[in-house]
Amino acid sequence: MGIAEATRNYEGWLAQRVPLLRSDIELKHRRMADDLFSFLRATFYRWAQVWPDVCSDLCAAPRVLGVGDLHVENFGTWRDAEGRLIWGVNDFDETVSLEYTNDLVRLCTSAQIAIDESRLAVSGRGACEAVLEGYRESLRAHGGAVVLAERHRWLRDLAVARLKDQRIYWDRMRSLRTVSGRVNTGVRRLLENALPERRLDFRLVHRQAGLGSLGRQRLMALAQWRGGTIAREAKPLTVSAWLWGRNAREVAPRYAELLARAVRVPDPFLQVHAGWLVRRLAPDCSRIELSSLPQGRDERKLLWMMGWETANIHLGSGAQRQAILRDLGRRKGGWLTRAAERMCEVAALDWRKWKRSTRLR
CA dist 250 → 122, 167, 174, 242 (Å): 39, 43, 38, 10
pLDDT for 2 equals 92
Q: Which structural domain, as residue segments, surrounds residue 174?
A: 3-359
pLDDT of residue 208 exceeding 90, the answer is no
3-state secondary structure 129-168: HHHHHHHHHHHHCCCCCEECCCCCHHHHHHHHHCCCCHHH
Percent of the chain with pLDDT over 70: 99
Nearest Cα neighbor of 285 from 159, 164, 190 is 159
pLDDT tens profile 286-300: 888 888 887 878 899
When mean pLDDT is compared across 26-40, 86-100, 129-143, 246-260, the lowest value belongs to 246-260
Say which residues have a Cβ less than 8 Å from residue 33's Cβ, sequence separation at least 6: 39, 351, 354, 355, 358
DSSP 85-110: EEEEE---TT-EEEEHHHHHHHHHHH
pLDDT tens profile 106-160: 999 999 999 999 999 899 999 999 999 999 999 999 999 999 998 999 999 888 8
When mean pLDDT is compared across 2-6, 110-114, 187-191, 213-217, the lowest value belongs to 213-217
pTM score of the predicted model: 0.93
Report the number of distinct structural domains present in the chain: 1
